[in-house]
Amino acid sequence: MSRFAAPIAEQIWDMKYRLKDAEGAPADGTVEDTWRRIARALAQAEADPAKWEEVFFEALEDFKFLPAGRITAGAGTGRAVTLFNCFVMGTIPDSMAGIFDMLKEAALTMQQGGGIGYDFSTIRPKGADVKGVAADASGPLSFMDVWDAMCRTIMSAGSRRGAMMATMRCDHPDIEQFITAKQDPARLRNFNLSVLVTDAFMEAVKAGGTWELQFDGKVYHTVEARDLWNKIMRATYDYAEPGVIFIDRINQMNNLAYCETIAATNPCGEQPLPPYGACLLGSINLARLVAEPFEAGAALDEAALETLVATAVRMMDNVVDISRFALDAQRHEAQAKRRIGLGVTGLADALLMVGLRYGSEEAARQTSRWLHRIARAAYLASVQLAKEKGAFPLLDTEKYLESGALAHMDADVRAAIAEHGIRNALLTSIAPTGTISLYAGNVSSGIEPVFAYSYKRKVLQRDGSRTEEEVVDYAVQLWRDKFGAAELPDYFVNAQTLSPSEHVRMQAAAQTWVDSSISKTINCPEDIAFDAFKDVYMQAYESGCKGCTTYRPNDVTGSVLTVSESSDETPEAETGADVVYLSDPLDRPHALEGNTYKLKWPDSEHAIYITINDIVIAGRRRPFEVFINSKNMEHFAWTVALTRMISAVFRRGGDVSFVVEELKAVFDPRGGAWMQGKYIPSILAAIGGVIERHLVAIGFIEAEGKGLKADPKYQAMAVGDTARGPSCPSCGTFGMHMVEGCMTCVSCGYSKCG
């Protein structure tokens, strides 16, 4: 029998985690081979690799422990890749040379696929004096534009998408420009933005006081604190950004406050990190640990949980030693503190299995109890590792035990640390788990509620026919297996039927026992009043959260599935669309219809001829292949490579309009050219423009600079209506929604955050 609980799980494994050779032939024959590959690689750091390989394999088996995607895809492959997900880069110096040194480091890190976080508060504000050159500073926003262009260029070179997080302190003189920067839809598209909010600022907001915007001891402006707070709130109300990070609380609760100061996080916010800090992630799948689900005696097997946690801590600690890093500073930081981020996924499903309604006070208490057990087990496992292998090098036991996060830790755990030390400075974090949750059988993601109990996913077959498969939430499928068509109990709720305060309650309950932070989205109804929306953030602050990310559907952000309160039906979503994911590339028909375009690049002796052939599927014309020809032999190799790659993408289906976007973003360092009154940054960008005009002409995309012609805006709907919205750039289905702070595809697990 297959180990996969659903077809989509096997498809995700095959697409993202299965090891294949250079020709695409599978090296992992089965998912057991993948587990074995990971277990063997992580056991190499042990004195007895054979023994620990079996222990690690057992933890991975049946998707109980889910290492983050980079570990699952990269461990044991022999490839020179990092197994860490995200990084916070070094402190940006306030000098031109220093800024561009940091840009180079960011490019090297992103080239390996790592997401990065940066604090731009260290750059002097726009208009400040620049000594020695008789000029005014351009400000941090201008350099963020440079970072954004770098990220776009790295991605256009074919590297794995890596998101970026930019933070800025609430007292920086350019904070108001930072808050509104992404309201220009063409700006900073590769960044998530968050404001570093201090306790003093929050007190000034509550007291109605003034707030000084300053840099390097100089006050540039004085504003009303509530006015600035309202500007932050209005931006996130209308645009879902910036997020809010309660930075003083993060530093106060940091186990390592005695030797580091944090000013930035990784792109999804669950890992506040110091300069050159890296986040290493993995999740315990709580949905696989519930005994007798939906029965009177249903309960989480806490003994199995503690054993699994101890093994997971050991596996993640070993990753620190076997991983590669883009920069030596990242390696030194990781090995000096041995920080890991063990979290959970499947929480909402586990709560359903024991009969609790997500968001209720009892569910919050149970969440806190479970995460307390995980924290205990993780810290004790790390103490045991310290006895065996040594504590992390920067441990100062007395100062470590005085930190905020250890203050409420159990006395026996504190005593064990005092006696033996601890191997890992920080141990727990709750990360986005969208893709690995699909891989594990579509369990609920992280600590999020279930998004939709089921949805339809259309798959285009090689012969052009379409099949429809239902993707069902893991807990719902278990219910169906046990009780057939029996009506779901009323404690089955989803993300859209919960109130914002219930979301906050669950985040706060989880945060108590998480020493890093949590990636979570608080869904708000479109018609929530602005004052009520602001109260969500104040509730998050007052209840001990380290940050807050909300999503309110509207015309700017796009809508998500909403559930009619009067409906008794099961919340469902349908992501079917005219543009669908292809399980295999289409075969080429004997004849295709197409067009040939002539492109004359200035200063080039020979023209380039671009032929685009189309295929008709379900009555709709779509691109199938591209040929590029020129007498200029200088272009021969790269034009052949380009045509093969673009044609391969076209034949896979889905929303391939991103090809145009990527080509048009490529710039030539030798300079572009003016063509028909427009500046074109490179020959590749000109080719992208030709392809774009062709896609417009055949009706595949709406217009220049627009997306799919068939891509409608989301609409609010009752249960059972078709939910359609922004199409996924990876698989093409209209199933993108906001989860854990990132736009994520429910069909293939693609995430904007990498």
Give 228-282 pLDDT, tens digit per residue.
999 999 999 999 999 999 999 999 999 999 999 999 999 999 999 999 999 899 9
Measured CA to CA, the distance from residue 429 to residue 440 in angstroms comes to 19
Residue 309: what pLDDT? Answer: 98
Residue 387: which H helix or E strand, with range?
A: helix 361-389
Mark whether 557 and 687 lie in a shared domain: no
Describe the crossing of helices 530-542 and 500-511 by its angle, rounded to 10 degrees. 10
Mark whether 553 and 668 lie in a shared domain: no
Mark whether 522 and 663 lie in a shared domain: no
- Residues designated catalytic: 266, 268, 270
Measured CA to CA, the distance from residue 711 to residue 724 in angstroms comes to 8
Mark whether 252 and 131 lie in a shared domain: yes
Mark whether 636 and 739 lie in a shared domain: no
**Structural domain span for residue 238:** 86-264
Measured CA to CA, the distance from residue 577 to residue 745 in angstroms comes to 13
Residue 746: what pLDDT? Answer: 66
Banded model confidence at residue 720, pLDDT cuts 50, 70, 90: very low
Tell me the per-residue pLDDT of 273-306, one tens digit each, with 9 for 90 and over: 999 999 899 999 999 999 999 999 999 999 999 9
Residue 585: what pLDDT? Answer: 60
How is 511-566 classified by DSSP, letter by letter? HTT-SS-B---EE--TT--HHHHHHHHHHHHHTT-SEE-EE--BTTTB------TT
Measured CA to CA, the distance from residue 722 to residue 725 in angstroms comes to 10
Mark whether 126 and 236 lie in a shared domain: yes
Neighbours of 278 (CB within 10 A): 28
Measured CA to CA, the distance from residue 356 to residue 451 in angstroms comes to 16
Side chain identity, residue 325: F
Measured CA to CA, the distance from residue 148 to residue 380 in angstroms comes to 42
At which of 219, 247, 264 does a domain end?
Answer: 264
Banded model confidence at residue 464, pLDDT cuts 50, 70, 90: low
Q: In the chain, how many domains are there?
A: 3
Q: Are 319 and 376 in contact (CB under 8 A)?
A: no
Residue 708: what pLDDT? Answer: 44
**Radius of gyration (C-alpha) of the chain in whole angstroms:** 26
Mark whether 195 and 234 lie in a shared domain: yes
Q: Is residue 453 part of a domain?
A: yes
Measured CA to CA, the distance from residue 276 to residue 281 in angstroms comes to 16
Q: Are 293 and 284 in contact (CB under 8 A)?
A: no
At which of 205, 239, 264 does a domain end?
Answer: 264
DSSP 159: P
Residue 111: what pLDDT? Answer: 80
Residues 6+ apart with CB under 8 A from 93: 99, 101, 102, 122
Residue 662: what pLDDT? Answer: 82
Q: Is residue 437 part of a domain?
A: no
Residue 655: what pLDDT? Answer: 66
Tell me the per-residue pLDDT of 493-517, one tens digit each, with 9 for 90 and over: 988 789 999 999 999 999 999 999 9
Mark whether 567 and 589 lie in a shared domain: no
Mark whether 132 and 211 lie in a shared domain: yes
Residue 123's CATH number: 3.20.70.20
Measured CA to CA, the distance from residue 31 to residue 37 in angstroms comes to 10
Measured CA to CA, the distance from residue 132 to residue 288 in angstroms comes to 64
